[in-house]
Amino acid sequence: MKELSNTACIVGVDESDEIGILPNKSQLALHLEAITNAVRDAGLKVKDVDGIFTAGQHSPSLLGEALGITPRYVDGTTVGGCSFIMMVGHAVAALHHRLCDVAVVSHGESGRSGVGVTRSRDTSLSGQFEIPYGFAGAPTYFGMITTRHMHEFGTTLEQWAQVAVSTRKWAALNPKARNREPITVADVLNSRPVCYPFNLLNICLVTDAGGAVVLTRADRAKDCAKKPVYVRGAGEATEHVMVTQMRDLTFSEATRLSGEKAFTMAGVDRKDFNHIMLYDAFTSGPPIMLESLGFAKRGEGVHLFEEGRSTPGGSLPINTNGGGLSYTHTGMYGIFPIIESTRQLRGECGTRQVPGCTLSLVNGMGGMLSAAGTLVLANQR
Amino acid sequence: MSPADLERPLPQPITPEAKPYWDGLREGKLMLPKCQDCDHCFFYPRILCPRCASRRIGWIQSSGRGRLFSFEISHQPLNKAFKVKPPYVLAMVELDEGPRLMSNLVGIAPDPKQIRCDMPVEVVYEKLNDEFTLPLFKPAGAAGGR
């Protein structure tokens, strides 16, 4: 993939018209709002789109039909919330080979209100080997990874809580974030117990929202409305679906591999980044991702969330939109960190703008660290 | 018993490759698939070995002993069909034969100060109906089931 570095750019990003709790908007409407908004952000028209990439319940062909276009390239990879991050890499390859000229990666999910949603999942394994014991919902799976991490490395509930505190500080600076009032470590520890080791404030929001990202080749990106953001590196991998099958319960091999591929393609090292976006479905996720990506030794990822590091004004800002914990989390969150990284690299973020943001990392998981996608994004070649 | 009377959702849909597992539990045996080529013992049941991709899969009876690899304590009901009163302990057990599986830890207070990762556990069988029995786990040497 090295020869594909910097060949394509993100030229448009946006959310749906509103994000939050939207009982009057269908999942399909959230997709279409996000796509039209992101295409407008790029200075393009919907008719220019000829590649559609989407994960979840709605197929790329449905989005093409609804938009009134005939895409000549589609991708429906659905491996969890990181699918959209992976699809940016897929789009780079498709654009390079001229399989399409304008690619849209789209997400729409009525995750809270369930409007226009058909629930149908493959349950044959979970139905036999997990559900009869009371497993239900992501906290009952991701907690296993978290408890074991505490056992092996001595990580504490206070340290996980600090991730929520840091992320909330960023949310306070984002007008679109759902929860913006400051919180303390004690607030997290005293919030309602849901499933040990998680209290309510360790767990992401559940919302309704859409988001979309528009890409085109670097030569064409110059003609778009805004400063292009270069896709310098992209990587992906999958490891497992059932948490019992994870080879090492406190280290994500898929995350490591996706990072190695993206860093090699980009020709960058970990110390080069000045902004990081990670998929924070739970407070324990980002520290374990940073350990798996090689930003911290095993067991030490939590230290990157201390005051003065990940926090506003800190040395390595993380999750500057307020994250899944405080900004929005529909269910498949992965499109939103891409949107935030793009805005930071463009310098559009107002009071939460990271000064001198030139190189941004996006990393996300699908399922329970089951799949992973990593992007290296830059505002110059 | 109709499903409505049961405390837990019945395992379903059963996959054909898992039938020996469910048949064994009905007789109070915890059966595990084992590769006949590379001797790898694994779980969940599938038609090939996840280590060497051999399709020659046999079955062994587990000792029913292992360690509590990780755990959670659920404080709220998350599934209408699961009627065990919270708090209850969700468990990931690593059997002495190697594989990990999900279950519940019973016979101990649902208290993170009392439960610790790597504590030895042993199987206890919970009959749901004439067709299905589940393997639950209790601290090794502890009396009884629940």
Q: Tell me: the pLDDT tens digits for A166-219?
A: 999 999 999 999 999 999 999 999 999 999 999 999 999 999 999 999 999 999
B18 touches chain A (CB under 8 A): yes
Judge: B43–A123 Cβ closer than 8 Å, yes or no.
no
Task: Identify the three-state secondary structure at position B41.
Answer: strand
| B84 at A interface, C-beta within 8 A | yes
Neighbours of A45 (CB within 10 A): 11
- The token duo for A369 is 């660290």
What pLDDT score does A121 carry? 63
Answer yes or no: is B3 within a domain: no
Q: Structure tokens of A337?
A: 């960190």
Q: Nearest-5° angle of CA A6, CA A344, CA A107?
A: 80
- Residues of chain A under the 50 pLDDT cut: none
Report the alpha-carbon distance of residue A367 to residue A359 in Å, rounded.
27
DSSP A296: S
A143 touches chain B (CB under 8 A): yes
A140–B74: do the CB atoms touch at under 8 Å?
yes
For residue range B75-119, what is the model confidence (pLDDT) as tens digits?
A: 998 888 999 999 999 999 999 999 999 999 999 999 999 999 999
CA distance A162 to A154: 15
Question: Is B83 a domain residue?
Answer: yes
- Tally of CB atoms within 10 A around B89: 25
Which pLDDT score is estimated for A118?
79
Q: Look up the domain containing B47 and give its range.
A: 10-139
Contacts of A136 in chain B (CB under 8 A): 78-79, 82
For residue A120, the model assigns a pLDDT of 64
Q: Is A375 on the interface with B (CB under 8 A)?
A: no
Residue B59: per-residue pLDDT: 98
What's the pTM?
0.97
- Of A334 and B145, the one with more pLDDT: A334
Q: Which residue, among B7, B44, B46, B70, would best test binding to A if mutated, counting the most A CBs under 10 Å from its CB?
A: B70
Select from A124, A141, A145, A147 the residue whose CB has the most chain B CBs within 10 Å, as the one to mutate to test that interface: A147
Torsion angle of the four alpha carbons A237, A241, A246, A252, in this order, in degrees rounded to the nearest 10: 40
Is B14 an interface residue toward A (CB < 8 Å)?
Answer: yes
For residue B4, tell me if it sits in a domain.
no
Contacts of A251 in chain B (CB under 8 A): none
CA angle centred on A78, ends A233 and A112, rounded to 5°: 110
- Report the alpha-carbon distance of residue A141 to residue B71 in Å, rounded: 10
Q: CA–CA separation, B30 vs B39, rounded Å?
A: 18
Q: Is residue B5 part of a domain?
A: no
Report the b/e string of B108-124 with b at 16+ CB within 10 A.
bebebeebebeeebbbb
Cα distance from A150 to chain B (closest Cα, Å)?
9
Q: State the pLDDT at residue B145.
A: 52
Q: Residue A336 has which token pair? A: 């939103």
Q: Which amino acid is at B33?
A: P
| CB proximity A144 to B under 8 Å | yes
Sign of the CA dihedral running A73, A76, A77, A82: positive
Both tokens assigned to A57: 């319940």
Superfamily (CATH H level) for A2-113+204-378: Thiolase/Chalcone synthase (3.40.47.10)
- Which helix or strand (DSSP H or E) is residue A286 part of? helix A285-293
Does B3 have pLDDT greater than 60? no
Spatial contact of A77 and A84, defined as CB atoms under 8 Å apart: no
B144 contact partners, CB below 8 Å, separation of at least 6: B107, B124, B138
* Beta strands at B120-127 and B100-105: parallel, antiparallel or unpaired: unpaired
Say how far apart CA A225 and CA A51 lie, in whole Å: 19
Q: What are phi and psi of A185, to 5 degrees?
A: -55, -40
DSSP H or E segment with residue A90: helix A83-96
What pLDDT does residue A1 have? 79
Q: Where are the alpha helices (DSSP H) in A73-175?
A: 83-96, 124-129, 139-153, 157-171
CA distance B90 to A146: 13
pLDDT reported for residue A111: 95
- Which of A80, A99, A19, A15 lies closest to A338, judged by CA? A15
ipTM of the complex: 0.95
Question: How many distinct structural domains can be found in chain B?
Answer: 1
Nearest residue in chain A measured CA to CA from B118: A151
Tens of pLDDT, residue by residue over B26-39, are 999 999 999 999 99
Output the average pLDDT for chain B: 94
> Which residue from B minimizes the CA distance to A137?
B78
Q: How far apart are CA A305 and CA A319, in angstroms?
A: 10
Could you give the CA distance from residue B57 to residue B97 in angstroms, rounded to a whole number? Answer: 15
How far is the alpha carbon of A116 from chain B, nearest alpha carbon, in Å? 22
What residues are paired with A324 via a beta bridge?
A: none
Does residue A319 contact residue A277 with C-beta atoms inside 8 Å?
A: yes
Q: Measured between CB atoms, does A125 come within 8 Å of chain B?
A: yes
Task: Specify whether the CB–CB gap between B77 and A136 falls below 8 A.
Answer: no
| Torsions phi, psi for B22 (to 5 deg) | -70, -35
Do residue A133 and residue B134 have CB atoms under 8 angstroms apart? Answer: yes
Question: Which amino acid is it at A240?
Answer: H
Counting beta carbons within 10 angstroms of the beta carbon of residue B27, is it exposed (0 to 12), middle (13 to 18) or buried (19 or more)? Answer: exposed
Reported as type and span, the H/E element at residue B137 is strand B133-139
Helix axes A139-153, A285-293, angle to 10 degrees: 60
